[in-house]
Amino acid sequence: MQLLTIIMQELILKKWQKTDAAALVFIANNRNIFDQVRDSFPQPYTVNDALKWIEIHGTKHPCQNYAIWLDEQLVGSIGFVPQEYERRHVAEIGYFIGEPFWGKQIATTAIQQLLTIMQQEKKYSRIEAYVYGKNTASMKVLKKNQFFLEGIQHKAAIKNNKIQDIYIWVRFLETA
């Protein structure tokens, strides 16, 4: 518990800056990261990919995607995608942590911070996360953040030419 307290004091979510590009490439250009995220995430991950991401997400207002910093070092990315129309009260979250920083409670703390930001907006009452079946670490992180397993979409994705199940995790927020 002490480790989590320390991280919560030092871990911050920041708006993306162009100067983050090289550090983003360092953590994102990793096959183990790519194996757990959607195929729209480039692999290999280049400086041009990082600059495009930062250009798109660093200018959105309000901010929806954040760089995760710990001890003045970029360690990951977290954000949300608002849904539309009849699902306008729903947002999907996504995140990744650079492999050198796995197992340090960073994702758990970053999700807590993101949910606080989303709660303050009072727009979203349902938060969803979609996780490949083999990504048990991410499922543990979601469970620690009071998400519950709503269901499994069996054989719903093809990742690395293998059919995968997608686990749907949900958390409800108060909007009033």
Looking at the chain, the whole-number percentage of residues with pLDDT higher than 90 is 87
How far CA 90 is from CA of 75, 82, 107, 112, in Å, comes to 27, 6, 21, 17
The dihedrals phi and psi of 98, each to the nearest 5 degrees, come to -60, 140
Looking at the chain, the whole-number percentage of residues with pLDDT higher than 70 is 94
CB 130 within 8 A of CB 142: no
Q: Is the pLDDT of residue 20 over 70?
A: yes
Lowest mean pLDDT segment, chosen from 4-13, 39-48, 102-111, 134-143: 4-13
Give the CATH number of domain 2-172; options: 3.55.10.10, 1.20.1090.10, 1.10.1040.10, 3.40.630.30: 3.40.630.30
Question: pTM here?
Answer: 0.92
Question: How many residues can be counted in the chain?
Answer: 176
- Please give the average per-residue pLDDT across 129-148, as a whole number: 97
More confident residue, 96 or 122: 96
pLDDT digits over 61-80, tens only?
A: 888 999 999 999 999 999 99
**DSSP conformation letters of 113-125:** HHHHHHHHHT--S
pLDDT at 1: 45
**Which residue's structure tokens are 């990082």?**
50
Q: Which two tokens stand for residue 21?
A: 């590009």
127: nearest Cα among 78, 61, 165, 163? 78
Helix (H, G, I), strand (E, B) or coil at 134: coil
CA dist 52 and 43 (Å) reads 14
The dihedrals phi and psi of 114, each to the nearest 5 degrees, come to -65, -45
- Please give the average per-residue pLDDT across 144-165, as a whole number: 97
